[in-house]
Amino acid sequence: MSKAKRVTTRTLQEMKEGGARIAALTAYDAIMGNLFDRAGIDVILVGDSVANVVQGHETTLSVTLDEIIYHTKAVTRGVERAMVVADLPFMSFQISADDAFRNAGRIMKETLAGAVKLEGGKENLEAVGRMTAAGIPVMGHLGLQPQSIHLYGGYRPRGKKGEEAEKIMVDAKGLQEAGAFCIVLEKVPAELAQRVTESLTIPTIGIGAGVGCDGQILVYADMLGLTIDFNPRFVRRYESFAERALDAANQYATDVKNGMFPSEEESY
Ligand code: KIV
């Protein structure tokens, strides 16, 4: 069977221009990356949400660059077609443009990801410009920025007020000018996300940002219903895997304890 054609920055640009929507999900290992790739997901993000989903942390702040590299390597091994994007974790890009550039280079070289993502706007423009000039595709991330959670004191939507909305618009244009190929808009009013999307030539991918973005992304564990106690209104659950996994593990334990597993056919 012939290999599927890899999704690139150009593919995403053409999708925007042709009005085709981009489907994105997070993944943190080869098995899920492979499943989502087979399902036709266009962009697979190895998000710093790995901190919440895999590592059990409350915030994304403690993820290290080495951990992102470890998980991204696993995902790229499982993915043939989708663009794999790796998140630049907290403090891997904020110190200086030099630092950001070096760390993004490490991700690209060691993981074979197709792009990096970083949170923030005008404070990152030098770094974004240098990465882009060196051939590293950069995805921006505006609106709610979970790495700044302690500064803002919560996960409320961003851009509801005039000044904040204006800043998101200005940052989006700045990122585009600096060379970003795409921007994630997290938890911003649908009307603002649509205006940003229409004012940019590069695609936007929304999470809690309404249907007017060029694409949508969800954290896969939310989409599959694995996260039981996390119910923000922007999540649509397409499965109830937490309940199904609980039932399956319960049945397995019962079978083991009753001597019903393994059977003769399952033995050598
Ligand atoms: O880390 C992550 O999963 C993300 C998405 C929510 C966009 O940044």
**Residue 36, domain CATH:** 3.20.20.60
**48 C-beta closer than 6 A to ligand 1:** yes
DSSP strands (E only) in 198-249? 204-207, 215-218
- The verdict on pTM exceeding 0.95 is yes
Query: Do residues 20 and 147 share a domain?
Result: yes
Query: Do residues 207 and 247 share a domain?
Result: no
Does residue 2 fall inside a structural domain? no
Query: Do residues 56 and 161 share a domain?
Result: yes
Query: Do residues 60 and 119 share a domain?
Result: yes
Query: Do residues 262 and 175 share a domain?
Result: no
Can you tell me the distance from the alpha carbon of 80 to that of 117, in angstroms, rounded to the nearest whole number?
20
Query: Do residues 15 and 123 share a domain?
Result: yes
Does residue 260 fall inside a structural domain? yes
**219 C-beta closer than 6 A to ligand 1:** yes
**Ligand 1 atom 6, closest CA:** 219
- Helix, strand, coil percent content, the chain, rounded in steps of 5: 45, 15, 40
**Ligand 1 atom 5, closest CA:** 47
Number of structural domains, the chain?
Answer: 2
Q: In this predicted structure, what is the pLDDT of residue 188?
A: 98
Chain-centroid distance, C-alpha 179:
19
Please name every residue paired with 23 in a beta bridge, in sequence order, or none if there are none.
216
Express each pLDDT in 27-56 by its tens digit.
999 999 999 999 999 999 999 999 999 999
Residue 254 lies in domain: 241-268
Maximum CA extent, the chain: 69
Query: Do residues 230 and 258 share a domain?
Result: no
Please tell me the distance between residue 48's alpha carbon and the centre of ligand 1 in angstroms: 6
Query: Do residues 141 and 264 share a domain?
Result: no
Does residue 38 fall inside a structural domain? yes
Contact 45, 215 (CB under 8 A): no
**Ligand 1 atom 2, closest CA:** 47
Does residue 1 fall inside a structural domain? no
Please tell me the distance between residue 87's alpha carbon and the centre of ligand 1 in angstroms: 8
Mapped onto helix, strand or coil, the DSSP state of residue 26 is strand
pLDDT above 90 covers what percent of the chain? 97
Confidence of residue 4 (pLDDT cuts 50, 70, 90): confident
Query: Do residues 144 and 250 share a domain?
Result: no
Q: In this predicted structure, what is the pLDDT of residue 1?
A: 60
- What is the arithmetic mean of pLDDT over 91-100? 97
Query: Do residues 104 and 65 share a domain?
Result: yes
Does residue 103 fall inside a structural domain? yes
Can you tell me the distance from the alpha carbon of 49 to that of 51, in angstroms, rounded to the nearest whole number?
5
**47 C-beta closer than 6 A to ligand 1:** yes
Query: Do residues 69 and 144 share a domain?
Result: yes
Does residue 4 fall inside a structural domain? no
Q: Does 237 score more than 80 pLDDT?
A: yes
Query: Do residues 115 and 182 share a domain?
Result: yes
Does residue 3 fall inside a structural domain? no
